[in-house]
Amino acid sequence: MPKRTAQGTLVLGTWNIRNFDNNRFGNGPHLEETFFYIVEVIFRFDAIAFYEICRDLRPLERLMSSLRNEYDFILTDVTEGASGNEKRLGFS
């Protein structure tokens, strides 16, 4: 993976964050330290797309606050219906 630089690179990433902090599979919410690992990965990219962000945005807001305002984000609407699983995409 190329090193992030202010001028020479644009490092893009995508991440299926799998039911982000939804207890759908009974594994419970992410541990506190998990957020720090996710932040470390995000800091390696200039822009990143997330898949499977759930309806409840509090976990995402918590994650974004850990990024020290270095990133902002936009989200799609929640996909409704059984096939959509009430998830959305996020771009940071």
Encode pLDDT of 78-89 as tens digits: 888 777 677 888
Cβ-proximal residues to 19 (8 Å cutoff; 6+ apart), any chain: 25, 52, 54, 87
Flag whether 21 is in a domain: yes
42 CA to centre of own chain: 8
Domain range enclosing 73: 12-91
Encode pLDDT of 52-79 as tens digits: 888 888 888 888 888 877 788 889 988 8
Structure token digits, residue 16: 């299926």
Flag whether 57 is in a domain: yes
Cβ-proximal residues to 85 (8 Å cutoff; 6+ apart), any chain: 52, 79
- Alpha carbons within 13 A on the beta-carbon side of 65: 6
Flag whether 4 is in a domain: no
Flag whether 40 is in a domain: yes
At residue 45, φ and ψ (nearest 5 deg) are -120, 150
| Confidence bin at 43 (pLDDT 50/70/90) | confident
pLDDT at 2: 66
Q: Based on the structure, what is the number of domains in the chain?
A: 1
Flag whether 84 is in a domain: yes
pLDDT at 50: 87
Flag whether 17 is in a domain: yes
